[in-house]
Amino acid sequence: MCNLYSHTSNREAILDFVRDVARVAENIGNLGPQTGIYPDYMGPIVRNTAGGRELTKARWGLPSSQKVIYDAAVKRVEKLRAKKPDAEIDFTAMLALEPDIGTTNVRNIKTAAGKWNAHWNRWMGVENRCVVPVTSFAEYDNTSGPDGKKRGNTWFAFDDTRPLAFFAGIHIPDWTGVRKQKLGKEEHISLYGFLTCEPNDVVGSIHMKAMPVILTTPAEVEMWLTAPKEEAISLQRPLPDGELKIVSVGPGEDPPGSWVAG
């Protein structure tokens, strides 16, 4: 699961790659490099809107399913009961207050039976599709190096120059909910996330479960943003074996240097 990526390109490169962008939102500014974009950070996206395509920033993490939120509430109650066995706990109230920390990656667009996943299907229309600019992404390597320490983040890019590509994404322009428990209140925010798929051989050598769905040409970007969902979902496939390379190992940002938060 990809929970860390970077974008060190620029707004002009994005606008040259993605066709017919009608508007650049004020929150884009000069769009400086972001060498470490983590869940719940603000990241750039190009999204479909009623007024045309828009380059903007949104928060990384789509709404979680009811099951994910329910399971999180159960774990929270179990921890509380372990600390205070005699405490009276109102699970219904706990569930109502359970924050949705967001779902960063979307894999199961369809069920095992081939039906559209009810949770994600509502946002699979053209109006909720976006593309997410990326120049490298990381998967965590839990194995140990010669020094006995975990190798940590392994960064992948097409080559050492880290050329621009895009994740196939989904966006929700106006979500209302509790994202952080410590805030204790609802937020009104725009969200995004992106699809994953089986890994190719390069990513699979580190992370066998998944890799992001990466679009490498203007034609693929156009298809994701405009095609009917049955056609667009054909893009949920790994890159060919041999594409991508490991460009950095260990750091929480890429390229290593001055870290710029989202």
Task: Return the closest-CA partner of residue 217 out of 10, 19, 5.
Answer: 19
- pLDDT at res. 185: 66
- pLDDT at res. 183: 60
Residue ranges of the chain with per-residue pLDDT less than 70: 144, 148, 181-185, 257-262
Task: Return the closest-CA partner of residue 224 out of 55, 5, 18, 1.
Answer: 18
- 102, 40 Cβ separation under 8 angstroms: yes
Within 10 A of 229 (CB to CB), how many other CB atoms are there?
A: 13
**Angle (nearest 5°) at CA 192 between 190 and 195:** 165
- pLDDT at res. 181: 67
Question: How far does CA 75 lie from the centroid of its chain?
Answer: 24
- pLDDT at res. 261: 41
For 63-89, give one letter per residue: b (16+ CB within 10 A) or e.
bbbeebbeebbeebbeeeeeeeeeeee
Amino acid at 162: R
Question: How far does CA 174 lie from the centroid of its chain?
Answer: 17
Given CA atoms 145, 147, 153, 158 in this order, what sign does their dihedral have?
negative
- pLDDT at res. 182: 64
pLDDT one-digit tens code per residue, 77-110: 888 888 888 878 878 877 777 788 889 999 999 9
- pLDDT at res. 262: 41
